[in-house]
Chain A
Amino acid sequence: MTGGPEHRLFRPGDSPVHRLPPHCKLLALIGFVLATVSTPREAYWAFGAYAALLAVVAAVARVPAGFVLRRMLVETPFVLFALLLPFVADGPTVEVLGLTVSHDGLLGAWNVLAKGTLGVVAGVLLAATTELRALLLGLQKLRMPPLLVQIMSFMLRYGGVITAEMGRMRIARESRGFVARDLRQTPAVAKSAGALFIRSYERGERVHLAMLSRGYTGTMPILVDTRASAAQWAAAATLPAAALAVWAGALLR
């Protein structure tokens, strides 16, 4: 679907990471994230090692650093929040750059920033190397309820359409001189939201009828079966295995 979110996230390519089956990559991501979040926050070197692992994955997948950095902007609000933590947390204080801050707050901010950022980068790499549709197939392979996968795939397919519809309404509002200045302009925006809901719902009804006329009985056929070979599983397992080694090292020290 054109105009969908897919274009901004996915980087088409033919690297070894791109070619791995989606469910292998999903499990690798989950394993990696679990290892990072359960690492004690005082093991500073371990987080450097995790970051290095992700850098290797990015290099193998040929995803440039600039792309990852741009996509990381999504975490800006919580970075601001983490920067506040040293000033509001309790406990013994330390002097940093002439400022008196809470020791625990400083560690807490580091904890959230390090673990959060690693999670975001890992997620960005997954989305950059896997088509969203393939990811949904991967989720189905991992035994997510089929109805949930269907709902997600419809949301994905029509997300771009609905968003574009909203964009056209915004252009229509603004070309008639509308400027949203404060809460007094709410009724106009809310009427657009109402119209958007009606259009979305009616489109849903039309889609359902179109599906019925093509023989829909409640389940979607799986057109391409992606079976993972042992070699592919092994390749996908290298990231969580390396992370597990770092994690064990961090716990033993």
Chain B
Amino acid sequence: MHIPNGFIDGPVSAGAGVIAVAGVAVGLRGARRELDERTAPLAGLVAAFVFAVQMLNFPVAGGTSGHLLGGTLAAILVGPYTGVLCVAVVLLMQGLFFADGGLTALGLNITIMGVVTVVVGYGLYRLTLGLLPARHSSVPIAAFVGALVSVPAAACVFTLFYAIGGTTDVSIGKVAGAMIGVHVLIGIGEAIITAATVSSVLAVRPDLVHGARGLARPLELRSAGETR
């Protein structure tokens, strides 16, 4: 669900807008480093992938269904900078052209769903990967942890913005309880799908998984007669 107009007051929306612009600017610079001159087509196609994957519904308990946010997934697959950029572009398109999420709340939506999920998700992914043995089989576990925490973290940041600039007098405890409670559940779904998707890409094209670079054992040359 994207934040609509008028939900969070003007100054806080503007502040979040500044964070979002800074995040996108850092993403643009970093993506050029990650993808060099291939940035435009590749980031565009990955953004289209994130957009499509968000339509992929999976059933949650009680007949409701959830969908992937994709921030952590994109960051692990193509790198954090390109990841922020892709999610931000998807949100920008949804806000500008599909009227999904308010125009004045665009900064909030990009900050919460783009910057926070990627920074928290990818940060935790790296941290967990550092603690686990340097093998390909560690990657899905680290991806699970990153995605699991990224969604409730985004809910926490939303609650924070609401506490500073909410336009309705709802006690912060109630907002935090409802938001974080629901998003812990969503986070579990996100974590399962993210880990499974990363491991399926890893099985077919390990070279494409940005977050798994440097984990593959270097190839060794052996002559035909050599025995071991």
Interface residues of A (CB under 8 A from B): 5, 9, 29-30, 33-34, 36-38, 41, 71-72, 74-75, 77-78, 81, 85, 88-91, 102, 104-105, 107-109, 111-112, 114-116, 118-124, 126-127, 132, 135, 139, 145, 147-148, 150-159, 161-163, 165-166, 180-183, 185-187, 189-198, 200-201, 203-205, 207-208, 211, 218, 220
Contact of A37 with B98 in the complex, beta carbons under 8 Å: no
Residue of A with least CB distance to B68: A193
Q: Are B51 and A151 in contact (CB under 8 A)?
A: no
Give the secondary structure class of A's interface. Answer: helix
Interface residues on B, range: 35 or more
Residue-wise, chain B 36-55 has the 8 Å CB interface mask toward A (1 for contact) of 01111111111111011101
Give the A-binding residues of B (Cβ under 8 A). 1-2, 4-7, 10, 24, 28, 32, 37-49, 51-53, 55-56, 58-61, 68, 77-78, 85-86, 89-90, 92-93, 95-100, 102-104, 167-171, 174, 189, 192-193, 196-201, 204-205, 208
Say whether B4 contacts A78, CB under 8 Å: yes
Q: Is the CB of B193 within 8 A of A155?
A: no
Name A91's closest neighbour in chain B (CB-CB): B169
- In the complex, are the beta carbons of B102 and A193 less than 8 A apart? no
Tell me the complex Cα distance, A5–B96, Å: 13
Q: Tell me whether B41 and A154 are in contact (CB under 8 A).
A: yes
Contacts beyond the supplied A194-B196, A197-B46: 20 A-B pairs with Cβ under 8 Å: A37-B6, A37-B104, A75-B4, A89-B168, A90-B170, A108-B167, A108-B168, A121-B99, A147-B40, A151-B39, A151-B47, A153-B44, A155-B89, A163-B52, A181-B59, A190-B193, A192-B56, A194-B204, A196-B49, A207-B41
Across the A-B interface, how many residue pairs have beta carbons closer than 8 Å? 252
Complex alpha-carbon distance, A34 and B194, angstroms:
37
A128 to B177: give the CA distance in the assembly, Å. Answer: 39
Q: Known contacts A135-B96, A152-B93, A194-B197; is A104 also within 8 Å of B48 by CB?
A: no
**Bound complex: CA of A88 vs CA of B95, how far in Å?**
28
**Who on chain B is nearest to A179 by CB?**
B59
Alpha-carbon distance A148/B192, docked complex (angstroms): 31
12 A-B residue pairs with Cβ-Cβ distance under 8 Å, sorted by A, are A34-B104, A37-B10, A41-B6, A111-B6, A116-B4, A119-B103, A120-B99, A148-B24, A152-B44, A152-B89, A180-B58, A201-B49
